[in-house]
Structure 1
Amino acid sequence: MGDTERENVTPSQRLALFTSSTPRGQEVAAVLRSTADWCALEDADIVVVIGGDGTMLDALHHMMSTDRVRPVYGVNAGTVGFLMNRYHRAMNIVDRLHHARSVAVSPLMVEAVTRSGEIHRVYAINELSLLRETRQTAKIEISVNDRVRIPELAGDGVLLATPVGSTAYNFSASGPILPLDSQMLALTPISPFRPRRWKGAILPDRSRVTFRVLEPDKRPVSAVADQTELRDIAEVRLAIAREREMTLLFDPGHALDERIVAEQFAH
């Protein structure tokens, strides 16, 4: 994670739109198309993402599959939109971008080994989750920095979330919401049976986390890195991929910090 700083947009910087397919997303995009000159995504210096947090995730993954990840500014046309800025019809997108503040975030590098020995390497911007594939309870050993911390977690699974993903699946699994610039990771059990009193952990984002599946033949487990699912997993190794740093742009006074606090006191 990086510190917040001003991201000044100059007239020479090219802008592209990445829009959700929902009616609301298309409606907002139609309004914004008339407010600036737009180019193709591959030619852009900054990408304006219209939709919800899922659309933001799609845009970031799309750019990570190319040679260059551009700074992104989200415009909320979805439901929750923790990562998005507020929209109104009279907004001047160029002025918004000129005054925007940036927050640097990095995804997780996921190295997953299947029971057959195949190795898969993918990125997770939100989280990596391990989930039981059958009615059998999953049993997972959890290590942090090569030291076993939980010899056997029994339950539906476990996840490791970045601050970007802490408001998603992690939050619904009763994990903590992390400020985007916190430089922390959320390690959260999913419907744990034992250890009964373990509610998870908050780790520095320099931590290396390993999940080893116990009894994988009897208790098969899948790994889900954002939208990518890998089945019959034996082990997963995780670390922050700082070389894939991304930049999110927010309006000055963006209410994200307040929303993070408020969600933790919601009844």
Structure 2
Amino acid sequence: MNLKFVGIHVRPDSPDAERKGIELAAWLQRQGIATGDLNAAEPSMDLLIVLGGDGTLLHAADLASRYGIPILGVHMGNLGFLTEITVDELYKTITMLLAGEYRLERRIMLSAAVVNGTTGAISEAVRALNEVLIVKDSASALIRLGCWANQEYITTYSADGLIIASPTGSTAYNLSAGGPLVHAEQKSLILTPVCPFMLSSRPVLLSSETLVTVHPLAPASQVGVIIDGELHWRMAEDDYLLVQQAARPLLIVSSPWKSYFKILRTKLHWGGDPVDLPLPDPVRRYC
């Protein structure tokens, strides 16, 4: 990777991350690589290094994907599904990038907007890496959400809410709500109801080419739209939420040392110890 100009995005409430960001900027400059201000993203950047946790990467993902800047996530937070590189691996990883030894993963982003069913007025689109959540404001009653795939009616969910997740977001709120794990590089959208009234209301996996439309049937005044953890809209009675794959994916530098399933085994504690179980050589030759 030809690195001439690199951005550094740090977790804002972490003095350790800020110190590491300043140290990293000095190291990059000694290698002849220019750096921008902390937590700034510019279209001309060749790489954006994120120091923090998954939340920090979510905040950086929108601008990085808009500009087509690859992200290198360095784990300095709590969970670390998205920030795959450890601090100890950081400089070795950058050296490998400079030598051309790297792999970029293309993660689909979501684009959400609200359109009024009477006037046709539409909001500015907002992008998400993990999920778009339609959720009730109060704890009293269920909400009823009509749902369409393109123009075809799917069903009406009676639930506390509905998650529209990307494959990357399948390990986030979607997983907590009983949704499926989907490989991060898969091209699909996941619909997962939150605490549905009917046990027959199950998650649905759709093509990433699908335009999902959701309309709160009742009571609309109690419905909010949360995008990657931030409240963006409260929906009126005649509003429709449109969610689809965004035009540009997010490019993430994958760890040379950890596969997707190794990360899952480690974070979710599958099978006890997160060790590899290799296939026998006579079987591997066919795989």
The AA in structure 2 aligned to 1:72 is I
- Give the corresponding residue for 2:200: 197
User: Structure 2: how far apart are the matches of 1:114 and 1:231?
Assistant: 12
The AA in structure 2 aligned to 1:136 is A
- Give the corresponding residue for 1:54: 55
Question: Following TM superposition, by how much is the alpha carbon of 1:264 offset from its aligned partner in structure 2, in angstroms?
Answer: 8.7
Question: Following TM superposition, by how much is the alpha carbon of 1:265 offset from its aligned partner in structure 2, in angstroms?
Answer: 4.5
**How has the CA–CA distance of structure 1 residues 79 and 116 changed in structure 2, closer, same or farther, with 3 Å as cutoff?**
farther
Structure having greater relative contact order (Cα 8 Å, sep ≥ 6): 1
Does residue 145 of the first structure (1) align with residue 150 of the second (2)? yes
Q: Superposed, which structure 2 residues align to 1:110-259 within 5 Å?
A: 110-113=112-115, 118-120=121-123, 121-134=125-138, 135-150=140-155, 152-194=156-198, 196-217=199-220, 220-226=222-228, 227-233=230-236, 234-241=239-246, 243-259=247-263
- Give the corresponding residue for 2:111: 109
**1:52-100 C-alpha deviation (Å, 9 max, x unpaired):** 1111111112445xx6231111111111111112324473342142422
Judging by fraction of residues, say which structure has more helix.
2
| Structure 1 gap ranges (5+) | 1-8
**1:151-185 C-alpha deviation (Å, 9 max, x unpaired):** x2111010110012222221221212221111122
Question: Following TM superposition, by how much is the alpha carbon of 1:225 offset from its aligned partner in structure 2, in angstroms?
Answer: 2.0
Does residue 95 of the first structure (1) align with residue 95 of the second (2)? yes
| Structure 2 gap ranges (5+) | 273-287
Q: Superposed, which structure 2 residues align to 1:35-50 within 5 Å?
A: 35-37=27-29, 38-40=34-36, 41-42=41-42, 43-50=44-51
- Give the corresponding residue for 2:5: 14
Question: Following TM superposition, by how much is the alpha carbon of 1:26 offset from its aligned partner in structure 2, in angstroms?
Answer: 2.5
- Give the corresponding residue for 1:5: none
**1:233-254 C-alpha deviation (Å, 9 max, x unpaired):** 431122112x222211112242
**How has the CA–CA distance of structure 1 residues 174 and 24 changed in structure 2, closer, same or farther, with 3 Å as cutoff?**
farther
Identity of aligned residues (%): 24
**1:26-71 C-alpha deviation (Å, 9 max, x unpaired):** 243244334322411424211111111111111112445xx62311
**How has the CA–CA distance of structure 1 residues 208 and 181 changed in structure 2, closer, same or farther, with 3 Å as cutoff?**
same
User: Structure 2: how far apart are the matches of 1:116 and 1:96?
Assistant: 55
SS at match of 1:193: coil
Larger deviation, residues 125-134 vs 154-163: 125-134
The AA in structure 1 aligned to 2:114 is A
Question: Following TM superposition, by how much is the alpha carbon of 1:255 offset from its aligned partner in structure 2, in angstroms?
Answer: 3.1
Count of matched residue pairs: 252
Larger deviation, residues 93-102 vs 205-214: 93-102
Question: Following TM superposition, by how much is the alpha carbon of 1:115 offset from its aligned partner in structure 2, in angstroms?
Answer: 7.8
User: Structure 1: how far apart are the matches of 2:166 and 2:85?
Assistant: 23
User: Structure 2: how far apart are the matches of 1:237 and 1:192?
Assistant: 21
The AA in structure 2 aligned to 1:69 is G
User: Structure 1: how far apart are the matches of 2:60 and 2:153?
Assistant: 36
The AA in structure 1 aligned to 2:35 is C
Judging by fraction of residues, say which structure has more strand.
1
After TM superposition, the score normalised by the length of structure 1 is 0.83
Question: Following TM superposition, by how much is the alpha carbon of 1:256 offset from its aligned partner in structure 2, in angstroms?
Answer: 2.6
The AA in structure 2 aligned to 1:82 is F
User: Structure 2: how far apart are the matches of 1:252 and 1:70?
Assistant: 19
- The answer on whether the counterparts of 1:115 and 1:232 sit within 8 Å (CA) in structure 2 is no
**How has the CA–CA distance of structure 1 residues 177 and 136 changed in structure 2, closer, same or farther, with 3 Å as cutoff?**
same
User: Structure 2: how far apart are the matches of 1:189 and 1:225?
Assistant: 16
